[in-house]
Amino acid sequence: MINTSLKELSAQLVSKKISSVELTQTFLDRIKGLNPKLNAFITIDENKSLAQAKAADALIASGKAGPLTGIPVAQKDIFCAEGWLSTCGSKMLHNFVSPYDAHVIEQFNRSGAVNLGKTNMDEFAMGSSNETSYFGKVKNPWDLDAVPGGSSGGSAAAVAARLCPAATGTDTGGSIRQPAALNGITGIKPTYGVVSRYGMIAFASSLDQGGPMAKSAEDCALLLNVMAGFDARDSTSLEREKEDYGRDLDQPLKGLRIGLPKEYFAAGLSADVAQAIEAALAEYRKLGAQTVDISLPNSKLAVPVYYVLAPAEASSNLARFDGVRYGYRAPEYTDLADMYGKTRAQGFGAEVKRRIMIGTYVLSAGYYDAYYLKAQKLRRLIAQDFTNAFAQCDMIMGPTSPTTAFNLGEKSDDPVSMYLSDIYTIAVNLAGLPGMSIPAGFGANGRPVGLQIIGNYFSEAKMLNVAHQYQMATDWHTRLPPLGEGLGVRG
């Protein structure tokens, strides 16, 4: 059951082969057994989840079930969920129980899906390793000495270890795709504006985008059908017709033009990752695709541009956490200014403070033109690179991450090295494009390798088709990590 597709789980629920209560309990039991090893979940509320499952069973019995009715879905703890602890991985919000639902949570509730709990994440989504959470590090189920990637590492680890059938994530600079790659699962970051950010705790508003994480592209299509859609409460939400993102899954790939950016296959890419990606590309050629050499000449600027713009937006967004309205407040202070200062000093972790200081600096009078304005101009050039590339190809492919998962603590004292682990993913966020990562083999150390697929604006259905056809021809996405003897997981 734990490796069953969402489509098949839905069929089993409708045919009464299993109830949602039984399915939910199965995954709750797996969480109890494996979460102490992985730390993938921050919050579990068995009673709430089972109550939702019971309601889903009633909906199914009434004949009004949708494709996700009764399916347990884990929610990244960046999404506010009414009555649930919503911490964003921070001490600052360690005691915050949300009084409302994020748009994404509302959409899942309307579909009849079951909230299985809130997954661990880097504090305020700032990190590439899931080591900055106030609630402790998440471990990679393929190797407990390795990081799961960040910031959606809890969601990725939970899906990979089959603690849940699917999960949500958010992607500001690669935070769905990089952990998906490092855990051997499928994750998609949609075009900016396709999924509402209402109720998604903000990190960098012009870059943040929610998306699904699951075992396969087919599962992600079902999840995206629920998550996507216009929301008037988010001024950046795009007013578009609803799509069926699974409509093209079975289309053949003959004639597909795949662009290979030379900058994604240069120095810094480890040999075993390069070998796995080349093998994946060879599989695509067998499926009828052709590869085209392209260039993204400004991609080398993506990391420095990102680390000017994202901290600038973060420094503004995080100004609201001052101990007055909600969340943590310093226990001892002399006056209002002292309370603000001590609350923020004690409530934020080191990485968050680093980015707030960078962001405040680049936005300050005298430095705005030199850093922030210049970075915005370079962002335009990076986006134009992709526009030029899509005149030559239909999809762009390359590695999601330059290496497989690195060891816990390996880059903790070297922020620049940590930031470079997102070198292939950040440009997609700066351009607002959709991108995804799918499993494409294993490195020399036995840790997963991810293939990144980048599409043009609003090409999610085509991207999922491209990923699905590969997954019909290979079995990397069905492999399970060697965890949990007696819990139904085998290597």
Per DSSP, 331 falls in state: S
Which one is catalytic: 49, 129, 175, 216? 175
- What angle, rounded to 10 degrees, do the helices at 46-61 and 20-38 form? 150
183, 146 contact by CB (below 8 A) = no
Return the SS3 of 441: strand
Q: Where are the beta strands (DSSP E) in 225-326?
A: 257-261, 290-294
**Cβ count within 10 A of residue 268:** 11
Q: Are 368 and 288 in contact (CB under 8 A)?
A: no
Q: Would you call 17 a catalytic residue per the annotation?
A: no
Q: What's the CA gap between 9 and 420, in Å, rounded? A: 39
Angstrom distance (rounded) from CA 27 to CA 441 = 26
**64, amino acid identity:** K
- The answer to whether residue 196 is catalytic is no
Phi/psi region, residue 136 (left: phi>0; alpha: psi -120 to 50; beta: rest), is left
The single residue of 90, 151, 237, 437 carrying the catalytic annotation is 151
Residue in 10, 20, 49, 76 annotated catalytic: 76
> Kind of pairing, strands 114-119 and 72-76?
parallel
For 159, phi then psi, to 5°, come to -70, -45
Residue 76 bears catalytic tag = yes
Just list the catalytic residues. 76, 151, 175
